[in-house]
Amino acid sequence: MSGSNLVALFHDEATRLVRRARALAAGGGDAGSRRQELYRALHSLKGMCASVGLEEASRLAHEAEELARTAPLPARGRLARCLERLAERVGASADEADEVDDAAPALPPIRVELELLDRLVDEATRVAADLDRLEHHLGPPPDPRSLALRHALRRETRSLGRALLDLRLLRFGELAARFERLVARWSERRGVPTAFAVEGAGVRIDRGLAWRLLDPLTQLIRNAIAHGPLPGGGRTLRITLGAAREAGRLRFTVADDGRGLDPAAVRRRAIRRGVISAEQAARLDDAASLALLARDGMSRLRRADELAGRGVGLASVRAAVERLGGRLVLASRPNQGFTATLFVPARLAITETLLVEVAGRRFAVLAAPVRAVRTPDDPATGPTRLGMAERLGFPPPRDPPGHALLVDSGRAPVALLVDRVVEQREMIVRPLGAPLERIGPWAGAALLAEGGLALVIDPARLVESARM
């Protein structure tokens, strides 16, 4: 993906942040809370503009962030003029996205709104479902030619759906390439030798999710360069950006092998700055202590620059991830590096599932964790068995189960008992969103070809919940 296409992809989010910053600067109400939100919006905007190569817009956002420290609100004078110039510069980026580089053909790129792609994918899914229902209504075809036509129509319908979904997804490596250039530029400015690596470049993510991830990932990489180098310098700082698809969600990591943090030191700093009391700090484990870094006002630098701000970076990362229905997890040890992990629901994915019946209802079970399907009397099912009906809160079935799903659980496989396995089927799985995504074993929902929705179950989470 070219830089101009990335500018186009993320232009809408940058415009939203500019409007938010101007509204906060001009609005009424509690000036203290509005100032903190203004910091956060400008800090996010600064990183987003830098990540797509809009250096002047990034500089203006940094200037506005500096002015917002002391300027009276509602904003007038220099801050208001700076925000106005920033809005004009971000607005001009849409036109810059249409500029074609020397290696590109003469025609401008075609842009398709993500909302339109969403509607097209949904329509293709409904067409496929309507076709299945029509076949069920018509019954067996009367002759071989009719059968061949049905097969061709089904094949072409699925091919159309896949083609539309391909337009909606991009490979993580396309996004990571932009960060590789940012790391090179920022590390040169700081005089920090760095080595940048990408893991999971082939993971495909939704384009709408990609532009929402741009800012939090930028913040985390910026923090690694600003805070990661060991005292004394000279040593190469290794930064790894990773992506992985798990059951119903995506995991993104930004890790460095720098100086890291002592959780006890984080607790002491939080007490000094009034974020928590000494009594509260005494009850926190290391993970909860590091989570304090995502609270407002926990910056490790006394002075803001174009890489680091005043404690709004990790706070804005956490807020962005939570808006996506996900969560942020931080891990660190002194001189052993720092790792930030973002867990977010996969907005759109073609997933292999097993369609099962439980308590008279149909559910889709993620196929990846299922090692095999057996009959319950097969010795290979092993001694550990769980009834899916009971785990989902239904009364125990009257009839014996017809199938057992052998689920990898990190230990010996566990047999999940179901009434029957209907078939194996590819489905377009969409997330349920917060708070349902965090509750129970649900990995999302999918439209059934025969009509209606099926909740999608992550069998590994179902097994894990039984052990808690």
**Average of per-residue pLDDT across 41-49:** 77
Q: What per-residue confidence (pLDDT) applies to 45?
A: 78
Query: CATH number for the 170-345 domain, one of 3.30.565.10, 3.30.499.10, 3.40.50.11890, 3.60.20.10?
Result: 3.30.565.10
**Rounded Cα–Cα distance for residues 142 and 214 (Å):** 55
The pLDDT-based confidence of 247 (bands split at 50, 70, 90) is: low
The pLDDT-based confidence of 99 (bands split at 50, 70, 90) is: very low
The pLDDT-based confidence of 101 (bands split at 50, 70, 90) is: very low
Cα end-to-end span (Å), the chain: 45
Which residue did the predictor score with more confidence, 101 or 230? 230
Cβ partners under 8 Å of residue 100, min gap 6 = 4, 106, 107, 108, 109
Per-residue pLDDT tens digits for 275-299? 889 999 899 888 888 988 888 767 6
Structure tokens at 14: 């940058």
Q: What share of the chain has pLDDT > 90, as a percent?
A: 18
Structure tokens at 72: 């009276």
Checking if the pLDDT of 244 tops 50, the result is yes
Question: How much is the pTM?
Answer: 0.65
Q: Which contacts of 243-247 are long-range, i.e. CB under 8 A and separated by 24 or more positions?
A: 243/172, 243/176, 243/199, 243/200, 243/201, 243/203, 243/205, 244/199, 244/200, 244/203, 245/203, 245/346, 245/349, 247/366, 247/368, 247/369, 247/443, 247/458, 247/460, 247/461
The pLDDT-based confidence of 251 (bands split at 50, 70, 90) is: very high
Residue with tokens 């700082």: 237
Cβ partners under 8 Å of residue 436, min gap 6 = 442
Residue 197 CB-half CA count within 13 A: 10
**Average of per-residue pLDDT across 304-308:** 52
CATH topology for the 3-97 domain: Four Helix Bundle (Hemerythrin (Met), subunit A) (1.20.120)
Which residue did the predictor score with more confidence, 43 or 148? 148
Checking if the pLDDT of 437 tops 70, the result is no
**Rounded Cα–Cα distance for residues 206 and 213 (Å):** 10
**Rounded Cα–Cα distance for residues 413 and 323 (Å):** 35
Checking if the pLDDT of 252 tops 80, the result is yes
Q: Where are the domains of the chain?
A: 3-97, 170-345, 349-467
Q: Give the alpha-carbon dihedral of 214, 218, 220, 224, to 10 degrees.
A: 150
Per-residue buried b or exposed e for 356-391, using 16+ beta carbons within 10 Å of the residue's own CB? bbbbeebbbbbbebbeebbeeeeeebeeeebbbbeb
E strand spans, 368-468: 370-374, 385-387, 403-407, 414-418, 420-430, 442-447, 453-457
Structure tokens at 80: 């208001």
Angle, CA 169 vertex, CA 164 and CA 173 arms, to 5°: 150
Q: What per-residue confidence (pLDDT) applies to 199?
A: 95
Which residue did the predictor score with more confidence, 188 or 161? 188
Per-residue pLDDT tens digits for 315-345? 888 888 888 878 899 999 888 899 999 988 7
Q: What per-residue confidence (pLDDT) applies to 239?
A: 95
Q: What share of the chain has pLDDT > 70, as a percent?
A: 84
Measured CA to CA in angstroms, residue 228 lies from 172, 302, 309, 315 at distances of 24, 16, 15, 18
Per-residue pLDDT tens digits for 114-157? 678 778 877 887 787 778 778 777 888 888 888 888 888 888 88
Q: What per-residue confidence (pLDDT) applies to 411?
A: 67
Which residue did the predictor score with more confidence, 171 or 48? 171
Q: What per-residue confidence (pLDDT) applies to 125?
A: 74
For the chain, the average pLDDT equals: 80
Q: What per-residue confidence (pLDDT) applies to 311?
A: 47
Query: CATH number for the 349-467 domain, one of 2.30.30.40, 3.40.50.450, 3.40.109.10, 3.10.450.50?
Result: 2.30.30.40
Strands 403-407 and 338-345: unpaired
Checking if the pLDDT of 402 tops 60, the result is yes
Of 413, 409, 415, 422, nearest to 364 (Cα)? Answer: 422
